[in-house]
Structure 1
Amino acid sequence: MENSSFESLPQALQDDILSRLPLKSLVKLKCILVSKKWASIIRGEEFKALYLSRSMTKPRVMLMVERWTSRPHEPAMSWFRSVYEEQRRTPVPDAYEEVLFHSVYQEKKPSLSSGQQQLRIPFEKVGSDISQPIRGLICLHLDGKVAICNPGTKKYHILPEIPAHFTNTKCFFGYDEDTNVFKVLCIKTRYLQSTIPFSEYHVLTVEFGAEPSYWRPIICKPDCSILTEGLFKGGFLYYGAESSSGKNLVVRFNVTSEEFTIWEFPDDDFSFPTWKFVIYKGNIALVDDFAFFPGAEIDQDGTFAFPILVLDEISVKFKREIIKIRGWEQKVEKDEVFYFKGTIGTGELVFAQGSGRGGLVIGPSFSILYYDTEDFLSRSKIEAVSGIQILAAQTFLDHVDSTWLI
């Protein structure tokens, strides 16, 4: 039998083989230039779509953890420590604050430890404001600038400076399926007479590999102050806001047309920002984080119930439902807080550990609860999320691997 090279295989078979490799392997193949053809395949649009479609069958749960962690003791660090301690006459702290992006495959069986990926960034560089992952990418602030990041490849794309000088800045991330481009909505706000918001709205189209685009000003009426994180679904961005008169608003931004739709919320029992957006059974919904704080009422049989507002996209109204979770008391300690994060493809409801009322999430592990259709509540730990002290954590569902920014 004659030896055959990879390049001699049919193109479709080459793509299929490469699409089964983890992102870490693809990054190495591209960096060490084993083959210019391989690098060309990996960067190609057809391979990008193939790899993404395969990754969607293995969605990830991604955590953004703010934590204190041990400072690495490298030779350069040892020199710095000696100079610092001599000049300041005080020891260098053995810990520093960082942001850890950690993702594993979303399925809870056999464990939440397979397919681990990590990206560590000093906290002062990134802060805590990041977007929901979309097609493997997130939007965040990096060294004071807006950046697009692929946590799986550890690559960044810094966006142009925003032409505005207001202090309060919020960015939302979306994807336009019609034109196959990402878009960033940036809102900079200041307050007139302390209470009246005045905002500037800008949109930037992100096309990797193309000439840098520019921020374009757009109009949103009436002006309002942002109160929640955003959630992207089906070409629309949703976020909660407040009018100048104090009314609660739900804002929907059409990523393709770049138009806003604003609904006033009439429910007197409803108030942002404790209510957050989630995906519930494929629908946009709102859930009250306050319902999960310690001291929440548990029925005598150990059942925990909480309200949720589900958007009916036909009537464009939110309908109130009550979700009941059996066995909550057996899985959750009295001083623990778990927030509802939405449902996944298996139909299971997912709850992620968090901090409540200024408390800290402390310990060598981070837990997630799954509640299935058979009324069974199970607890899974992500052991790799460890540190001296976990300060805060955000959890995102349905993150996927992609070859953007590889």
Structure 2
Amino acid sequence: MLGLSKTRSELPEMLVFDILSKLPVKSLIRFKCVCKHWSSSFQTPLFITQHHHNHLRNNNLNFIFKHSLGDSSPDLCYFNLFPLYTEDGQSFSLKQNIRLPFFDDRWRFPEVYGPCNGIFCVESEDNLALWNPSTRQFKILPQSSVQRPPAADYTEFESVGFGYDSQTYDYKVVRFVSNNYKNDNETKQVDLYSLNGNSWKEISVPEVSALGNSWYDNHVNGIYYWAASGANDVGYSCILSFDMVNERFSTLSLPGFNGGGFLEYELLLLNFNGLLGAVTFSWETILKSIEIWVMSGSWTKLFIIESVPGIDMPLGFWKNGELFFENSDGELVLFDPSTRELKNLGIHTCCKESMSIIAYAESLVTFN
């Protein structure tokens, strides 16, 4: 009788983890129970980065939608967050709203900055937190220990920036502070938070003022960007940037549009396929002209959208190059620049110009 040989086939470990890095976060959290090696490997910077890049490369994006509920008056409406779902790319739906711990005051909805590697910075008045919607982890940041001028009457917290230092694997938050005095004077400070140290420090103040626009992905390759204004400027004068590695501010020129006051032009900055992108449009024109620019050594105009009746506010890009807009009736619409087709998605808001959409790829980043 011939003996039977039992063979065992094993996949190389590198291939196994390459396969695992393409799975959803929900599956990987479950697979942490397989063995200690898998559990610890899922938390290495290399695996976390590979997993996030795979989801970005495959365009596996999730969308969070913010809109107002309640009364149509801006003073009486309140806000909620919802996951924005689609099964076929044609029909869209909102499911259960997202609750943010520590930010549960519906009348003072927090600003959301990011995403940066799939996580967000959440701000409400003087409170800040980091949030990973994929793992549902939430970390409230400590109050800043930076000393304020003793003669200041009160302090206001202004623009925020949030990004990643790839050299030290550290997430950092930049916050601009205005110290106000009874004689109407003010002084500026800038605080910088490090997740690695879980602490704040004071850094130098730039010569221009950052004009915050949350709900857009302003972090590109370790640098955070703000539209900025000089001391005597009515509108935008430049773009302010902060390098998360060397912790320094710098400025760059605006794209080539006819800049004006805030009531005339709007400038939205965003991450456009790994490059700094800019969306410019006018508030004044009924048939708006919307320009899309990208920075690659210099500003290049990618395309222009002209004379589309009924659209108001650009909200961001869908997976295939289409753009989300809020229309003049407060409804969410999707615009295809190639066909100029405008599709109503059946989602509306009570208060005009209150919609926002954030796209992000899943992340395993933890705050421990």
Q: Alpha-carbon deviation of 1:12?
A: 2.6
Q: Which residue of 2 aligns with 1:119?
A: 98
Change (3 A) 1:235 1:18: closer
Distance 2:112 2:59 in 1: 23
Give matches, 1:267-282, under 5 Å: 269-272=259-262, 274-279=266-271, 282=275
Q: Which residue of 1 aligns with 2:335?
A: 369
Q: Alpha-carbon deviation of 1:280?
A: 5.7
Residue aligned with 2:105, SS: helix
Distance 1:144 1:195 in 2: 21
Q: Which residue of 2 aligns with 1:170?
A: 159
2:199 maps to 1:218: no
Change (3 A) 1:178 1:147: same
Distance 2:120 2:109 in 1: 14
Residue aligned with 1:21, SS: coil
Given that 1:100 and 1:119 are in contact with CA atoms closer than 8 Å, whether structure 2 keeps it comes out as yes
2:81 maps to 1:100: yes
Distance 2:85 2:91 in 1: 6
Q: Which residue of 2 aligns with 1:200?
A: 189
Q: Alpha-carbon deviation of 1:314?
A: 3.8
Q: Alpha-carbon deviation of 1:285?
A: 1.9
Given that 1:176 and 1:256 are in contact with CA atoms closer than 8 Å, whether structure 2 keeps it comes out as yes
Name the aligned partner's letter for residue 150 of structure 1.
N
Distance 1:40 1:47 in 2: 10
2:223 maps to 1:236: yes
Q: Alpha-carbon deviation of 1:189?
A: 1.5
Given that 2:125 and 2:157 are in contact with CA atoms closer than 8 Å, whether structure 1 keeps it comes out as no
Aligned length: 338
Distance 1:220 1:163 in 2: 17
Name the aligned partner's letter for residue 139 of structure 2.
H
2:325 maps to 1:352: yes
2:291 maps to 1:324: no
Name the aligned partner's letter for residue 204 of structure 1.
Y
Given that 1:119 and 1:154 are in contact with CA atoms closer than 8 Å, whether structure 2 keeps it comes out as no
Change (3 A) 1:17 1:290: same
Residue aligned with 1:15, SS: helix
Q: Which residue of 2 aligns with 1:55?
A: 55
Change (3 A) 1:119 1:191: same
Change (3 A) 1:45 1:225: closer
In structure 2, which of residues 272, 279, 291 is the aligned counterpart of residue 308 of structure 1?
291
* Runs of 4+ that moved beyond 6 A: 1-5, 264-268, 319-322, 385-391
Q: TM-score, normalised by structure 1?
A: 0.66
Q: Which residue of 2 aligns with 1:337?
A: 312
Given that 2:224 and 2:243 are in contact with CA atoms closer than 8 Å, whether structure 1 keeps it comes out as yes
Change (3 A) 1:12 1:309: closer
Name the aligned partner's letter for residue 25 of structure 2.
L
Q: TM-score, normalised by structure 2?
A: 0.72
Percentage identity across paired residues of the two chains: 16
Distance 1:145 1:4 in 2: 56
Deviations 1:346-375 (A, max 9, x none): 5x2413327x7xx8x47xxx4433323xx3
Deviations 1:237-293 (A, max 9, x none): 2112333323533312222222112358797742348332245674432413625xx
Q: Alpha-carbon deviation of 1:322?
A: 7.1
Given that 2:209 and 2:230 are in contact with CA atoms closer than 8 Å, whether structure 1 keeps it comes out as yes
Change (3 A) 1:258 1:196: farther
Given that 1:352 and 1:395 are in contact with CA atoms closer than 8 Å, whether structure 2 keeps it comes out as no
Given that 1:351 and 1:370 are in contact with CA atoms closer than 8 Å, whether structure 2 keeps it comes out as no
Q: Alpha-carbon deviation of 1:162?
A: 1.2
Distance 1:137 1:404 in 2: 7
Q: Which residue of 2 aligns with 1:253?
A: 242
Distance 2:79 2:257 in 1: 39
Distance 1:3 1:151 in 2: 43
Change (3 A) 1:154 1:20: same
Q: Which residue of 2 aligns with 1:134?
A: 116
Residue aligned with 2:143, SS: coil
Aligned-residue Cα RMSD (Å) equals 4.3
Deviations 1:77-130 (A, max 9, x none): xxxxxxxxxxxxxxxxxxx9553242557xx9544669x997333641882311
